[in-house]
Amino acid sequence: MDDESLRNSFTASFLKQEKRKAITFLRDGDIETKISYLQLHQDSNRMARAFQEQGVEKKDRVILCIQKSLIFVIAHLALQKIGAICVPLNPGFKKSEMDYLLQDADAKLILSEPDKEGLIKEIDSGLSTLIVDTQKPYQDMDFFRSVPEEYNRVEIKPDDPGLIIYTSGTTGKPKGAILTQKNLVHDARNIIHIWELRATDVLCHALPLFHVHGLCFALHTSLLAGAHVIMIDQFSPHGVINVLEKNEGEYTCTVFMAVPSMYAKLMDYLGDRKLDFAHMRLWTSGSAPLLPQDFKRVYATFGKEPVEREGMSETGMNFSNPLGGERKPGSIGYPLPDLDVKIVNPETGEDVAPGQTGEIWLKGPAVTPGYWRKPEETASVFAQDWFRTGDLGNIDKDGYYYLTDRIKHIIISGGENISPKEVEVVINQLDDVVESSVVGIPDERWGEKVIAAVVTKSGSNIKLGEIQAHCKKNLHDWKCPKEVVFVKELPRNPMGKVLKEKVKDLFKS
């Protein structure tokens, strides 16, 4: 079905909403550009022509390694129109990271900025490069103004790749998850349905665009719903609060999507101040677990309970707490429509008993067909047609799902399997503790020993012995941390996930 392409879906939405504002782009808190849905359609057509004049054809990879900007949005939409594959990369990547990713993606073209041009040429002098200055409006760029709006249309099928998203790479090298047109359209429509996104909504977009959260869950859904996106160039508590608290016509936000670390910074910035956010209808949280105490803080600060959800680069959004109904702190909620879920013993693949913990397996229209040019890795994550998430979890009597840990993070000490999440929950119960991360490091006696990095509240004098005593009161001795390091903050990736390997490095030093 050809209507299962982003090109056709976006075109229908854009022409239906042609006079409505699509995006208001803010730079340093000020309005830089306003663009309507009709302009978005016309300018992405023009960008599609520009790509074709650069020799880009269907299924070619095009890397977008640029700052958050409207030219990023225009370029991404244009690639969907010509059947090319968008490969967004974090523009903050260093040479060693870029070296691997450029080689792996094997792209036809890369969009980059002036300060990265030398680095790219050093890594791959033969790679075609289109340099764009994201500090300027894209309409003023010479290459853009010189091309007509018409482009050569190609046939786009549901199973054609539209996006390659590189996984976080928290363990080993990043892998490029292929997302097809069908994957992307189904995921966006699902989110629009469960969160009841409408053309009357206004999204405060403060997420990066190189990740599925900001690009697919936030941008795709808003544009397909015909909503107005207020896009902030980069996250800052001051800038976001200024946008969220406004109650002025088309600038009155109704939806905010964020990761837990963003909420923490917003709440720390507000302190004891109470602002009126009654105009906001939806606060969502994902990409990392939201601690139960932070769930309560969000409710107290913003006036509504957050909707926690779960998704992956490889699968789109999988679970969400209900929009209407109980939102359980710590739960990822119910499966989205058309998603089959089972919880199994990861060793045997057999279903576990109700209430027991096992690996979560998924099957549905949004699941990736595999990893880019990595057949062995692809084979390892599929059991017949079930996708093995690598997440351990369980389901309660009400049908709510919970994630308990990652299989790769399980610590084996003295022959016993230890869930870091279980230990973290106990440590986080202490009043002086903000959060913790538990990992295992090699130990001659035990194979691995349990250690913990702990972030404490300002002014706290809590000691190692107090943490160990609390753990021993609530856990078997062999689950308790042998060492603790106190840190100001936990190492995270750009989407807020704690980097376990970096936590281990804290103890090596």
Question: Distance (Å, rounded) from C-alpha 257 to C-alpha 201?
Answer: 13
Q: Torsions phi, psi of 24, nearest 5?
A: -110, 115
Which residues lie closer than 8 Å to 140 by C-beta, 6 or more apart?
none
Among 254, 205, 168, 270, CA closest to 69? 205
> Which three-class secondary structure state does DSSP give residue 75?
helix
Look up residue 187 and give its amino acid: D
Tens of pLDDT, residues 429-443 = 999 999 999 998 888
Q: Binning pLDDT at 50, 70 and 90, where does residue 172 land?
A: low
Among 306, 259, 311, CA closest to 283? 306
Q: Binning pLDDT at 50, 70 and 90, where does residue 141 land?
A: confident
Evaluate if residue 394 carries a pLDDT over 90: yes
User: Tokens 């699902």, residue?
Assistant: 190
Among 319, 332, 297, 306, CA closest to 435? 297
Q: Binning pLDDT at 50, 70 and 90, where does residue 170 land?
A: very low
> Which three-class secondary structure state does DSSP give residue 362?
strand
Q: Pairing between strand 386-395 and 358-363?
A: antiparallel
Q: Provide mean pLDDT across the span 256-261.
A: 93
- Dig out the tokens for 403 from the structure: 């994630």
The Cα angle at residue 446 between residues 442 and 450, in degrees rounded to 5: 65
Question: Distance (Å, rounded) from C-alpha 190 to C-alpha 334?
Answer: 13
Question: Distance (Å, rounded) from C-alpha 374 to C-alpha 100?
Answer: 14
- Dig out the tokens for 326 from the structure: 């109980």
Look up residue 149 and give its amino acid: E
Please report the pLDDT score of residue 408 as a whole number: 83
Per DSSP, 370 falls in state E
88: left (phi over 0), alpha (psi -120 to 50) or beta: beta
Please report the pLDDT score of residue 1 as a whole number: 38
Please report the pLDDT score of residue 497 as a whole number: 84
Q: Torsions phi, psi of 60, nearest 5?
A: -70, 145
Q: Pairing between strand 228-232 and 202-205?
A: parallel
Q: Binning pLDDT at 50, 70 and 90, where does residue 143 land?
A: confident
Among 172, 166, 181, 170, CA closest to 103? 166
> Which three-class secondary structure state does DSSP give residue 344?
strand
Evaluate if residue 145 carries a pLDDT over 90: no
Which residues lie closer than 8 Å to 4 by C-beta, 6 or more apart?
158, 181, 182, 185, 186
Q: Pairing between strand 370-371 and 176-180?
A: antiparallel
Q: Pairing between strand 307-312 and 282-285?
A: parallel
Per DSSP, 265 falls in state H
Question: Distance (Å, rounded) from C-alpha 50 to C-alpha 60?
Answer: 14
CB distance 492 to 261 below 8 Å: yes
Q: How many CB atoms lie within 10 A of CB 362?
A: 21
Q: Torsions phi, psi of 14, nearest 5?
A: -65, -45
Question: Distance (Å, rounded) from C-alpha 320 to C-alpha 129?
Answer: 40
Please report the pLDDT score of residue 4 as a whole number: 80
Cα dihedral 105, 111, 116, 118, rounded to 10, equals 80
Predicted model pTM: 0.87
Q: Provide mean pLDDT across the span 142-155.
A: 90
Evaluate if residue 169 carries a pLDDT over 60: no
Among 198, 219, 223, CA closest to 22? 223
Among 363, 178, 211, CA closest to 287? 211
Q: Binning pLDDT at 50, 70 and 90, where does residue 2 land?
A: very low
Question: Distance (Å, rounded) from C-alpha 336 to C-alpha 317?
Answer: 8
Question: Distance (Å, rounded) from C-alpha 86 to C-alpha 78?
Answer: 9
Domains in the chain, start-ordered, CATH in brackets? 2-394 (3.40.50.12780), 410-508 (3.30.300.30)
- Burial bucket for residue 250 (CB in 10 Å: 0-12, 13-18, 19+): exposed
Tens of pLDDT, residues 4-50 = 899 999 999 999 999 999 999 999 889 889 999 999 999 999 999 99
> Which three-class secondary structure state does DSSP give residue 33?
strand
Give the count of alpha carbons within 13 A of 117, CB side only. Answer: 8
